[in-house]
A and B are shown apart, each in its own frame.
Chain A
Amino acid sequence: DTEVTQTPKHLVMGMTNKKSLKCEQHMGHRAMYWYKQKAKKPPELMFVYSYEKLSINESVPSRFSPECPNSSLLNLHLHALQPEDSALYLCASSQEISRVETGELFFGEGSRLTVL
């Protein structure tokens, strides 16, 4: 199983809503990532978890709140978002952070978020 599964695939929410994006992998990977990709732009790193601890936060606004309940799951809690937060949110995982170098970073299909 080399899959990273993201749910939901599509999410529409209002600026006052609270919602969550979920990511799951069963490859035994200990590093998990959230990336954000806007239209015609490259994916941009948001957060990295290593061994269930937050390792990197790329100065992401607090309206995005990551959570890693266990080594297989990664959530992104969303609250009071703005329309400009509409984007494709990609989850990824790797065996260890260092494995990113050799391309062993597996991406999910993404969750497309629209904020009205």
Chain B
Amino acid sequence: DQQVKQNSPSLSVQEGRISILNCDYTNSMFDYFLWYKKYPAEGPTFLISISSIKDKNEDGRFTVFLNKSAKHLSLHIVPSQPGDSAVYFCAATSNTGKLIFGQGTTLQVKP
């Protein structure tokens, strides 16, 4: 029973264009959603989060949108840069210390 799903295993975009990574969830008790980025041979690093009471959070080139009625969130990266190439994990939590991760989407940004 996957509570957090990323249905696109991979995404390829041109440098300078927008990258949109999607995530769906099933548990309405989640109160925070996060995006993590992972390079090979490194642990995941935190990128951006959003509370369930908000619908948008922005941090520089990264914006996360939350649609609670659709149980869907997305991460927008604009403009995309080659250094953004990594695996992106969507994650969710309900104040229990448990972070539930999606399967990940591998983003490739081509120069």
Contact = CB atoms under 8 A, between A and B. Distances in A.
B1 interface: no
Contacts of B102: 42
Q: Bin chain B's interface residue count.
A: 20 to 34
Nearest to B43: A107
B99 A105 contact: yes
Interface residues of A, number: 30
A50 to B, nearest CB: 7
Contact of B95 (A48, A55, A101, A110): A101
B43 A42 contact: no
A101 B103 contact: no
B65 interface: no
B99 A45 contact: yes
Interface stretch (A14-22, A65-73, A92-100): A92-100
From A31, A98, A103, A110, name the one whose CB has the most chain B CB atoms within 10 angstroms.
A103
A59 interface: no
Most buried by A among B4, B46, B95, B102: B46
B97 A103 contact: no
Given A101-B32, A101-B93, A43 B98 contact: no
11 contacts: A45-B99, A45-B100, A48-B98, A50-B97, A56-B96, A94-B97, A100-B93, A101-B34, A103-B34, A107-B43, A110-B43
Interface of B: 4, 31-32, 34, 41-49, 51, 89, 93, 95-104
Interface of A: 4, 31, 33, 40-45, 48, 50, 55-56, 58, 90, 92, 94, 97-98, 100-110
Given A100-B32, A108-B43, 11 more contacts: A31-B97, A48-B97, A56-B96, A90-B44, A94-B97, A101-B34, A101-B49, A101-B93, A103-B49, A106-B46, A110-B43
